[in-house]
Chains A and B, each alone.
Chain A
Amino acid sequence: MLKYAYNMLVYGTEPIEMGIARLSKFKYDFAEIVGEPEKITAAQYNQVLKKYNMPVSSIVSIYTPDRDLVSSNPSIRANTIKYIKGNVDFAVEVGAKIVTLTPTACMKIKPEVDLEQEWAWAVQGAREAAQYALNSGVRLALEPWNRYESYLLNRLDQSIRMVDEIDHPGIGVMADTFHMSIEDKDIPGAIRSAGKRLAHVHFADSNRAAPGEGFLDFTPIVEAIRDVDYQGVCSFELLPAAGDVWGVLEGGKAPEFLDPYTESSIQYMKNIEKNLGLIDAK
C-alpha cells in the first residue's frame, strides 16, 4: 500500500493553509512542500500542519542559478551546499524525511567546464550534504531532470551511478515519472534497477498533468515500486504545460492543478492499487 503526498509547488502563491486544507480534504497522507524557508518558515508551516494534523513527507529544493552544485564559481557551489543543509534543517523542523537534490540549476542545459569535473563536484558536494542529512535523520533524493531542464543527470541509471559513487547512506535516487517519460526507455525496469537506492518518487503523467491525463501506464510502475519494497512516499509533482513553469505558477493560472487534479490523482492511483490487490477493494 502506497503512501501519497502532493507537491504544493503547483499551488503557486495561494496561502499555504488553502493547500494543506485541500490535501486534508482529499485524504492525503502527507504534504510535500517547497524548500524556501526564508520565504515561508517552518513555524508558519507547523502552525497550519498542526491544525490539519497533516505531516510533511519531503522538501522540494529549488535550484536557481545561484544554487548550482557544479557551477564553475566556487562561491556558488558553497552557497548550494549551504542551501541544501538549510533545507535539511527545515525538514527536521517540519518533520520531513526527504530533501530533493539535483546538482544543476534548473533550465541550465550546458556544462560550464568539462563533464568529468562537474561530475566530481556533484559527487563531492552531495556527499558532504548527505553526511549532514544523515546526522539529522534525513535522506537526500538525487533527482534526474529531462534534457530541457538539465544535462548532467537525465536518466535514472545516471543517478544510480552517481549515488553508487557517492556511496553514502544519506543519499538515494529519486524517480520522477514525467522526466522518465521523456528520457528513460523503460520506467518500471529503471525503478527495479534502482532497488534499495530508491529514496523518493514523484508521479506525473507523460504531459506532467495528473495520472490518467496522459500516456503512462501506472500499473507496471506501481508493481515495480512494490517489488523493490519501497517504504517511502509517492508524491504527485504536477506542473503546467509551459516552458516557463515559474511564470505560470506566479500568475496562478493553473486552476485544474488545485482541486481537480489533487482529487483525481490520488483516486486514480488508489484504483490501480485496488486492481492489483494492494489495498481492499471497497
Chain B
Amino acid sequence: MSGSHQTAHDVVFHVRRYTPERDKAPYIQSFTVPVHPGMTVLEGLHYIKENLDQTLAMRYSCRMGICGSCGMLLNGKPTLACNTQILDIADRELTVGPLPNFDILRDLVPDLMTMFQKHRALMPFVKRDDEEDVNDPAGEYYQSPEELEHYLQFSFCIRCGCCMAACPTLATDANYLGPMPLAQSHRWNQDTRDGARSERSSLAGGSHGAFRCHYAGECSRACPKGVDPARAIQHLKRQLVVDYLHLAKRKKPCEKQHGPGAFPKDPKIPEAPPFTLP
C-alpha cells in the first residue's frame, strides 16, 4: 500500500450543526478525524458521516472543484471543501461551518436561492432584439478572441457562493445583489453577442447594485476559480458611469453571422463533394 493512507495525526473537526425542527440556534459539535496527507476537508466530512454521525448534512457532488456545491466556511474562510486539503489550513483543529450571509437550512447546507434569484433577475444569457434570428438562427455570431478575452475570466464562475459569503456588504444588506450576480451581469454585458446592457443597468446600477460594492476585495480572495468578481464589478461600475455620461463606444450587439453565402469563398479551398445521403 502506498504511503498516502498513513495517518499523519488526528484533527478535531468543530462542525457547526443545526437542525431547524429541534434547535433554536446552531451549536458546535466536535469530531476527531484521522487525517492522512492529501486528505481534503470533504473527505474528512465523509469520514464523520460514515463512521461517527450519519445525520451530518452537507452538499457535495463532483469532489473536484467544478460543481460549486461544497462551499463552506473553513477556519473562517469561505471556500470549497473538496478543493481544500485539511493539513494546508489546520494543524490539530479545524472549524467547519455553513457559508455565512445565507440562511442555514440544516447543518452545513445554506439556502442559496436568494443568490440564484438575484442572478436570474440580471438576465444571465444572451438577449437581443432580433428574436426571430435568435430562435431560428441562420448561422453563428462572430466573436473574435480579443472580444472573448473581455469576459472569459468571469465566465469561469461555478456559482459556489463563496464570494457572497465573504462580502462585507452582504453581511448587513440582504438586498444587495452581491459579487456573483454582478460579475455575471458584467460577463453578459461584455459579451458582444448580447444586446441587453441597458436593461440590466436599471438593476445593476440601482440602489442595491454595483455601487454598494466598496472594493473590500474579499470576494476575489475567496473565489476558488480565480474569477476575480471584484475586478468585474469595478469594470461594471465604469461601464455604468460611461453609459450615464453617454460616452459609451459599443451600443449594439455584434451583427456578423457565418452562414451559407455570408462571406466570399476563398478560391484556394476546393468545392465540397456532393452529398452521399439523400
Q: Do A and B come from one complex?
A: no
